[in-house]
Structure 1
Amino acid sequence: MEPTAHSQQEASTASSMETAEDLASKLNAAVRNRNKEVVLELLEKGADVNSKAESGWTPLQSAVQADDECLVQLLLDKGACPHARKDNGGTAFIEAAVAGNKNILKLLLDCGVDINDHDDNGFTAFMEAAWYGNEEALRFLYSKGANVNLRRAVSEEKMKLHKGGATALMDACREGRFLVVKTLVQDMGADVNIRDNKDRNALIHALKKACAKERYESAVSIGHFLLDCSVDVNSKDECGKTALILAVEMQSPDLVKALLEKDEIDIDDADEEGNTALMVAVERNYFDIAKLLCEQGARTDVGNLIAVANRNRNRNMADLLRQYNAKFVPETLEDWEPNSKRWRDQLKNLHKMYRPMIGKLKTFQYFQQRIQHTSQGGIYLGLHGETEVAVRTSRSTEGDKEKKFFERCGNCKHLLKLFQFEKAKGYMYLCFPLWEKNLEEYLQEPKDHEDYKGALKMIFQAVRELHSLGFAHQDLHPGNFLIDLGGKIYLADFDNKRKSIEDRKELTNSDLEALSRLVLYVLTGGKKPLQQVSAEDLAADSPDYNEALDLVHCLASHDERGVEGLSKHPYFSSKQARFQFLKGIWNKIKDFRNRNTVFQDFNATERFPYPRWTKEIDKDVLKIMENPKKGMQFKYRDNVSELLRLIRNLDEHPDSRISDKIGDYSEYFLRLFPALTIYVYNSLRQNPKYSCFADIQDPSL
């Protein structure tokens, strides 16, 4: 095709001296102007078909946005990359769903794009089609295998801000696309009860912006439709507002009435500021809705409703409230300070807000009061009386089973215990003593010193206690070890992965393997994820390196001593106890003419780590020991028995010349021969005759 006079005029500015940047800018402009002739001329002049304009737009993406199938095909034929991304991570395929062009979507799919690919904000083509109400494109993508219930994937940083997690259904609800909502649910099986990262389901998204006049009718229609589809009516928005409160805010008596017909609705549930549906209706002067709520039994003894009605100069509202026993109450401020430092602000908010009491329990189950995720649901803050607690909610049948298990933990020092429980409307509320952080969070904190041994002692005792109850944990990760305000560690199992041991050795072995990784994770300060840490990450010059390495090996190799026996491993002994152990061995092995054979015969797998120890010890110390002031001269040999003999003699026959030279004996020898303790310990343990001497007596244990 010959270029027109108009196209020649547009292209005439592109001389041979133009830069690549100039050509790219003109190419993108020509695409946006849908001028095929100029596009061809610029490409012939060397313009890069994959060049990027402002915000990272490529010519192909601009052609898709312009909804020009011919240009899209042309650019693909000229080598345009269908996988190129804008600055926000968006692709031509995702843009095609915004435009809603099924033919362009097919063209790009044929180029091998991933139908579930998403941009940096987690939006897929399917989500965009739902957002913009492009039903034809939506059906096409569904027919090609798009994931209907995919949740918006976002970065870890955005996850911490509770962003992302929404589905295509939520997008359609949010934008008031009633026909798309019906299509997604009825024809494509969209799940109405999935929640985003702010704990909002499709119903909440439908009602969030429904106060706007142009969205009201569609929001009401979507709300009724979702209620007919058994949507969860107890979901909340990011401010703790329930669907009932949102329905009141949008001033929809029909929707309020439909919600109240649901048995599971809590008419007195309140948002994060303590406002119930009735309080919102009174505040906004919605008399008909307030009357409906009062007739359905809404509480009138919270929120000082009469004062609000009087402030609004609404005498009819005040009369209505008095008819339902509302009373004017002077406001008083109560100062309360929680014990918890970590959860102080959330607890103070909970304390001052109105919440319907569940027995003696006050709790608010929405994400800003949530302290931990589990596969069984969230763990939330609560106040049982004046006691700060962590609350787990479950159906009564499952709750009864959990309650029985936690009651068995009552006499255990390091298993999470049940503090109290409450029952209401078919639910069990299990209340636990509140913790400050989990093990992972503890390790990430800056510390003046690292008492990892103390933490591991408590971890081992917790696992030992669980095994003694007849259960293997099967999920020993840092998030399941909880630390209270006093630094005490407790083991929890909120995901219910524990299994009855019943002589099944593989279950306890699995716990031992997990414990070996956990030891490494703790000793390396949690610098690597649990599954990535290895023995190579241990610093060879760290305290107790040899004992720690041996402990990890014993756990990983399913040592027959189990957690019970390995809780007495030399790693857990103090330096003083280890030195006392070493100095006493030579005296204990009395009936063996050559004590050294004890170690040669029964530790064949491990050679004595200091075969030339007489060359490593301080020369003056060795000379004094070989030439005592009293007694005969003696020549020490390079074997383990003689080294133990020297340690014993040095301690039993102290010499001020030596103590002045090396200071504390135990510090000196354990620093000079760090692998000696574990070598002697394992040698004795493997010797049937002398294994009883391998027990290191440590009063601290």
Structure 2
Amino acid sequence: MEPRALSEQETSTPSSTERAEVLARKLNTAVRDSDVKYVLELLKEGADVNSKVESGWTPLQSAVQADSEELVRLLLDRGACPHARKDNGGTAFIEAAMVGNVSILKLLLDYGLDINDHDDNGFTAFMEAAWYGKEEALEFLYSKGADVNLRRAVSEENEKLYKGGETALMDACRKGHLSIVKTLVQEMGADVNVCDNKDRNALIHVLREGCAKKRYESAVSIARFLLDPGGIDVNSKDECGKTPLILAVEMQSADLVEALLEKGEIDIDDADEEGNTALMVAVEKDDYNIAKLLCEKGARTDVGNLIAVANRNRAHNMARLLRQYHARVPETFEDWEPNSKRWRDQLKKLYQIYRPMIGKLKTFQYIQQRIQNTSQGGIYLGLYGGTEVAVRICRSTEGDKEKMFFEKCGNCERLLKLFQFEKARGYMYLCFPLWEKNLEEHLQESEETVDYKDPLKMIFQAVRELHSLGFAHQDLHPRNFLIDLGEKIYLADFDNKRVLIEGKNELVNSDLEALGRLVLYVLTRGSKPLQQVSTKDLAAGSPDYNEALDLVISLGARDDRGLEGLSKHPYFWSRQTFKFLKSIWNKIKDLQNRQAIFQAPNVTQSFPYPSWTKEVDPVVLKIMSKPVKGMSYEYKDDVTELLRFIRNMDEHPNRRITNKIGDHAEYFFRLFPELTMYVYNSLRQQPKYSHFVDIQDTSL
């Protein structure tokens, strides 16, 4: 059999693209091997100095990883881009921090790089230096302005999953770099109480790692260092609700347990999401010494079936110890159904698990029980004497000030009220009636177009009530308007941004402008972020479009009516609007020069329907112009005549007209959508006739 002939493709020379890829792979390999001579040869052959291989690595990044300053300089001289990123967003500068080469960091920094730049996972060069224990690089980056307390930035999607938010200090704690931790805290001022997106501080991070044997010794040393100066929050929790004390028991470190118990503010009976206390964990692990220490310090023995666990472990000494401290079978809970629909599962969990009571309050300050984030801390679910509440936890001094403010809100209908409060261990627990969602969530969940007059009335009332107490809100964001099961709206200020007005009208005007944006946000169903929405987003031709537009413009124009007057704006009139138009003719019909009212110098808008008789259905116009008592009437094309026409047609109903056009009010609003605001503003702008526009009851 003759040998197979090679195909044309097999005998052809490589394409330019294939050759470039081959050169790129060879160049990266040569760089990683630190083969300077071969690198120069490949560049001479035409290898692209900025080519990328697997995972987006460039020759410059490979040179940094190889810790070759010579190659880094060579590649930069040949045009290598220091800003190039790998597939994960990493740069040569961030890579240099991992390697810890200060000379390369200096060299790259001269190319105008942002020292706090991060990759797609939020890691900065400073964080990487802490993670890999590169102390010299860490100190250099700090000297050049690296942000010590910068939290790991992640995508919005990952943030919703509570990922990210870690700091360089947390990274050093997790990797067991004691000297780095000391440098960060003592020399660079790292904040030991910054929390990641799972509410874990540095102490939680180190103790979680300490449960692994290889990290045990370093974890104990770092935890002791963090505890020694004081000031670190020893009641912080991980995402499973475990406190530092519970984690120290899991590590089976009696020294750390004792050190934590020396902190007076610690809650020895705090429990995790499964209801396990530190003593329950010690009994489960059959750690007699730690269990004895906890019992001596007053840990409750009537929580969890401790004797049964000790017997299961055949731990007779443990069982004897527990009986000595009066251990008994715990109480069981009857089934219970909460009122809240949204928070049902979390509330049932809270009801069923053990939690140390704070007076009459049962709450759990951990991520799965948190219902809202604020700049002042989280808001958590709670049960106060069996009533479902939202709990804000703050220091007692701050809590006293907040309590004083909420006492002023007692007679207000639309401001969030304080339900009850408790004090314990220097903290104030402020309890509020539980809400189902905030306005932002409500609008995002709404699928149908609805009339938002009632919600906006409640919003206006809430702002009016706050102003009447002498405060401007300064943060009228939809998340601060809370909606309960009955769809009632209440205004909250958990970020504590309110300020005393004290005669400063600019503060009131600022609230009114913000309220205008909020109205637009509501009317457009939250289709755009609050700060991006504009009047252009209002759907022209939609019901009440002209009234809504005028209301928003008035709110932003420092209108002399103020919030009290604007709360009676035509937008809120509902069914009163047609009655208003009918009533105006009755109020002006006996005036000698009726048309002059709408032609006064104060009236800035011209009549929008100068040929209205041609827009009305000709059959209807003919019927309304028929002889009365032997005389016919010809309507003129001016506003007063249109008002007369509207009044006459409604006051003297005609079946033929009704069959022709249907509901009179709907017909006129569809035909003359700008009429209401034209009449209203024309009269309002004239002191002599402004009282004509007063509508007392806007709810009808």
**SS of the residue aligned with 1:258?**
helix
Q: How far did residue 229 of structure 1 move? A: 2.8
What is the one-letter code of the residue matched to 2:127? M
Alignment map for 1:295-374 (pairs within 5 Å): 295-329=296-330, 332=332, 334-374=334-374
Q: What secondary structure is seen at the aligned counterpart in 2 of 1:381?
A: strand
User: 1:332: how far off?
Assistant: 4.2
Deviations 1:43-87 (A, max 9, x none): 122211111111111111111111111111111111111110011
Secondary structure at the aligned position of 1:335 is classed as coil
Give the match for residue 255 of structure 1.
256
Q: Given residue 243 of structure 1, which amino acid in structure 2 is its aligned partner?
A: P
In structure 2, the partner of 1:581 is 580
C-alpha distance in structure 2 between counterparts of 1:120 and 1:31, whole Å: 25
| Partners of 1:603 and 1:682 within 8 A in 2 | no
Counterparts of residues 363-402 of structure 1 (less than 5 Å): 363-402=363-402
The aligned counterpart of 2:41 is 41
- Alignment CA distance shift 1:650-1:281 (3 Å): same
> For residue 659 of structure 2, what is the amino acid of its counterpart?
D
Q: Which residue of 1 aligns with 2:645?
A: 646
Q: Check the 8 A contact 1:437/1:482 in 2, yes or no.
A: yes
Distance 1:450 1:648 in 2: 30
Could you list the runs of 5+ residues in structure 1 that have no partner in the other structure?
Answer: 1-12
Deviation by residue 1:11-69 (Cα, 9 ceiling, x = unmatched): xx999895222221221122222222222222122211111111111111111111111
State the SS of the aligned residue for 1:209. helix
Which residue identity does 1:586 align to in structure 2? W
- Return the offset for 1:197: 0.9
> d(CA) in 2 for partners of 1:41 and 1:633?
105
Shift of 1:496: 1.9
Counterpart of 1:616, as a letter, is E
User: Equivalents in 2 of 1:448, 1:523: separation in Å?
Assistant: 12
Listed as ranges, the matches of 1:532-547 within 5 Å are 532-547=532-547
CA contact (8 A) 2:24 2:51 kept: yes
Q: CA separation in 2, counterparts of 1:392 and 1:333?
A: 26
Letter in 1 for 2:692: F
- Do the aligned partners of 1:133 and 1:180 also contact (CA within 8 Å) in 2? yes
Please give the residue correspondences for 1:252-651 in structure 2 after superposition, counting only pairs within 5 Å: 252-329=253-330, 332=332, 334-574=334-574, 576-601=575-600, 603-628=602-627, 631-651=630-650
**Aligned residues of 1:602 and 1:684 also touching (Cα < 8 A):** no
How far the C-alpha of 1:176 sits from its partner, in A, is 0.5
8 Å contact from structure 1 (residues 152, 165) kept in 2: yes
Residue of structure 2 equivalent to 1:9: none
Taking the aligned partners of 2:483 and 2:164, their CA distance within structure 1 comes to: 30
% identical equivalent positions:
77
* 1:195 aligned onto 2:195: yes
Is it true that 1:674 corresponds to 2:673 in the alignment?
Answer: yes
Distance of 2:629 and 2:361 partners within structure 1: 76
Distance (Å, rounded) in 2 between the aligned partners of 1:549 and 1:23: 64
Looking at structure 2, the residues matched to 113 and 586 of structure 1 have their Cα atoms a distance apart, in angstroms, of 72
Partners in 2 of 1:336 and 1:397 — Cα distance? 36
For 1:590 and 1:411, the matched residues in 2 are separated by 44
Supply the AA of the counterpart residue of 1:303: G
Q: 1:325 to 1:17 in 2, by over 3 A?
A: closer
Measure the CA separation in 1 of the matches of 2:630 and 2:408.
Answer: 63
- Amino acid paired to 1:517: R
Contact 2:572/2:699 (CA < 8 Å) preserved in 1?
A: no
Aligned positions of 1:1-150 closer than 5 A: 18-150=18-150
Residue 325 of structure 1, CA deviation: 0.8
Amino acid at match of 2:591: F
Q: Cα RMSD (Å) of the superposition?
A: 1.6
TM-score, normalising length: structure 2: 0.96
Native 8 Å contact 1:471 1:498 kept in 2: yes
Distance across 1 between alignment mates of 2:314 and 2:689: 92
User: What TM-score results when the alignment is normalised by the length of structure 1?
Assistant: 0.96
- Contact 2:603–2:685 (8 Å) recurs in 1: no
Alpha-carbon shift at residue 512 of structure 1 (Å): 1.0
Q: Is the 8 A contact 1:481 1:490 kept in 2?
A: yes
Q: Is the 8 A contact 2:573 2:698 kept in 1?
A: no
Aligned counterparts of 1:15 and 1:541: Cα–Cα separation in 2: 61
Change (3 A) 1:325 1:649: same
User: Structure 1: how far apart are the matches of 2:696 and 2:630?
Assistant: 32
Kindly indicate whether the alpha-carbon contact (under 8 Å) linking 1:16 and 1:45 is maintained by their aligned counterparts in 2: no
Q: 1:281 to 1:593 in 2, by over 3 A?
A: same
Tell me the alpha carbon deviations over residues 604-627 of structure 1, each in whole angstroms, 9 at most, x when there is no partner. Answer: 311111111111111111111112
2: CA distance between counterparts of 1:40 and 1:333?
77
Cα deviation, 1:393-419, whole Å, max 9, x if unaligned, reads: 122222122112212222222110111
Q: Within 2, Cα distance between the matches of 1:507 and 1:195?
A: 33
Q: Distance in 2 between matches of 1:40 and 1:21?
A: 17
CA contact (8 A) 1:414 1:490 kept: yes
What secondary structure does 2:371 align onto?
Answer: strand
Task: Measure, in 1, the Cα distance between the counterparts of 2:285 and 2:299.
Answer: 17
Partners of 1:395 and 1:180 lie apart in 2 by 31
2:640 partner amino acid: S
Superposed CA deviations along residues 460-485 of structure 1, whole A, max 9, x for unmatched, are: 01111112222221211111100111
Report the Cα distance in structure 2 between the residues aligned to 1:492 and 1:520, rounded to whole angstroms: 20
* C-alpha distance in structure 2 between counterparts of 1:570 and 1:435, whole Å: 31
For 1:196, the aligned partner's letter is D
